[in-house]
């Protein structure tokens, strides 16, 4: 049985702004990293899809919550804020979709790198010098995962 949403009181309004700000910061970071995909390891690329895919999937909850608040008796200031946040959710949807679109080529490159590593690890020495260099040049960012802006989970 599907779990029912836990509808929030109007005092939870700031949560939407924080989610949008976080998504915009991640988008800017990803935009800067996209010309240098080698700086993002497989874990980080996977986390991008996990975190922002999940956020994309729950945006309907924010839209529904805002619609419920609009039906409440609100002060003029609260109504203005609910309207503003409805627009913010729309912006958030756009930014999250942009993040996922920017990350898609990285995901494609990720599966190619994994295939190259698997072949390399199988003992095949049939790579050209260029292919061997690509395999060896892949960074291992295990020690930096926790400090990565893409490694944190958002609810």
Based on the structure, what is the number of domains in the chain? 1
pLDDT of res. 109: 62
Among residues 48, 20, 42, the alpha carbon closest in space to that of 110 is found at: 42
pLDDT of res. 144: 36
Sign of CA dihedral 128, 130, 133, 139: negative
Q: Which two tokens stand for residue 50?
A: 């996990």
Token pair listed for 64: 């529904």
Q: Quick check: is 22 in a domain? A: yes
Supply the pLDDT for residue 85: 93
Q: Would you give the distance in Å from CA 91 to the centre of its chain? A: 14
- Provide the pLDDT for residue 9: 81
What residue ranges of the chain have pLDDT lower than 70?
1-2, 13-14, 109-155
User: Residue 66 sits in a domain of what CATH number?
Assistant: 1.20.58
Residue 92 lies in a domain: yes
Domain that holds residue 32: 10-107
The Cα angle at residue 32 between residues 14 and 132, in degrees rounded to 5:
135
Is 58 a member of any domain?
yes
**What is the spatial distance between Cα 58 and Cα 30, in angstroms, rounded to a whole number?**
22
Q: Which two tokens stand for residue 90?
A: 């729309």
Which residues have CB under 8 Å from 140's CB, separation 6+?
41
Tens-place pLDDT, residues 36-45: 888 888 899 9
Is 77 domain-assigned?
yes
Q: Is residue 4 part of a domain?
A: no
The whole-number pLDDT of residue 119 equals: 43
């Amino acid at each position: 049985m599907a779990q029912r949403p836990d509808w929030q009181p109007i005092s939870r309004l700031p949560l939407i702004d924080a989610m949008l700000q976080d998504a915009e910061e991640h988008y800017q970071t990803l935009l800067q990293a996209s010309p240098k995909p080698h700086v993002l390891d497989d874990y980080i690329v996977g986390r991008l899809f996990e975190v922002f895919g999940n956020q994309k999937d729950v945006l309907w909850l924010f839209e529904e919550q805002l619609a419920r608040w609009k039906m409440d008796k609100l002060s003029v200031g609260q109504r203005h804020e609910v309207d503003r946040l409805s627009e913010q959710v729309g912006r958030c949807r756009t930014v999250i979709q942009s993040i996922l679109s920017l990350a898609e080529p990285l995901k494609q490159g990720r599966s190619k790198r994994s295939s190259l590593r698997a072949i390399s690890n199988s003992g095949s020495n049939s790579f050209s010098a260029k292919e061997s260099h690509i395999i060896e040049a892949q960074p291992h960012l295990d020690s930096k995962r926790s400090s990565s802006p893409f490694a944190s989970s958002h609810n």
